[in-house]
Amino acid sequence: METNKKRSECPLSCSLDVFGDKWSLLIIRDLLFFKKGTYNDFLKSEEGIATNILASRLKALEENGIIEKSAHPESKAKNLYRLSKKGIDLLPIIMEIYIWSDKYFNMPQEIKEIIKEAKNDKDKFVKQIIKELTAE
């Protein structure tokens, strides 16, 4: 995936050049909500991303400053991927996607509950997630 060719100066278009594909936001979702952080964590997600695609997306997200790669504190064999500030700031976008989904898709009751809570006080929800992420 090419990371350096802008189609236009439109901010929306530039943003889509960064995360406008079927996989990037799912990786970011895993980082935001499911405490995932290693290559294998992402591979195991239920959507079943192919290993080469995962590698290319992680590389692109890193090059675009959305995630940061570091050594895993518990094992030399592992790497740890974390969201940068820029990546964490994608949370409001993802929340709005969830809120839209809630209106137009069926989904498990448990997820519905979480969305309800998030919708009720968006700022509080965002702050809570950020707190959890930065506490680690």
Partner DNA sequence: TATTTGCACTTGCAATTTGCAAGCAAAATT
Partner DNA sequence: AATTTTGCTTGCAAATTGCAAGTGCAAATA
Residues that bind its own copies (CB under 8 A): 7-17, 20-22, 25-26, 29, 46-48, 86, 89-90, 92-105, 107-108, 111, 115
Q: How far apart are CA 35 and CA 101, in angstroms?
A: 22
Which residues within the stretch 75-104 sit at the binding site for DNA (CB under 7 A)?
Answer: 75-79
Judged by CB under 7 A, which stretch of 72-80, 83-91, 115-123, 124-132 contacts DNA? Answer: 72-80
Query: Rounded to the nearest whole angstrom, what is the least distance from the CB of residue 120 to DNA in the complex?
Result: 35
Told to check if 110 binds DNA by CB under 7 A, we report: no
Annotate 13-73 with DSSP letters as a single string: HHHHHHH-SSSHHHHHHHHHHS---SHHHHHTSTT---HHHHHHHHHHHHHTTSEEEEE-T
Residue 16 binds which of DNA, its own copies, none (CB < 5-8 A, kind-dependent): its own copies
Contact between 55 and DNA (CB under 7 A)? yes
CB of 112 to DNA, least distance (A): 28
Q: How many CB atoms lie within 10 A of CB 118?
A: 20
- Token pair for 124: 């509080």
Per DSSP, 82 falls in state E
β pairing state of 79-83 and 67-71: antiparallel
84 binds, among its own copies, DNA, none (CB under 5 to 8 A by kind): none
Least spacing, CB of residue 44 vs DNA, in Å? 9
Of its own copies, DNA, none, which one does residue 11 interact with (CB within 5 to 8 Å by kind)? its own copies
User: What is the length of the chain?
Assistant: 136
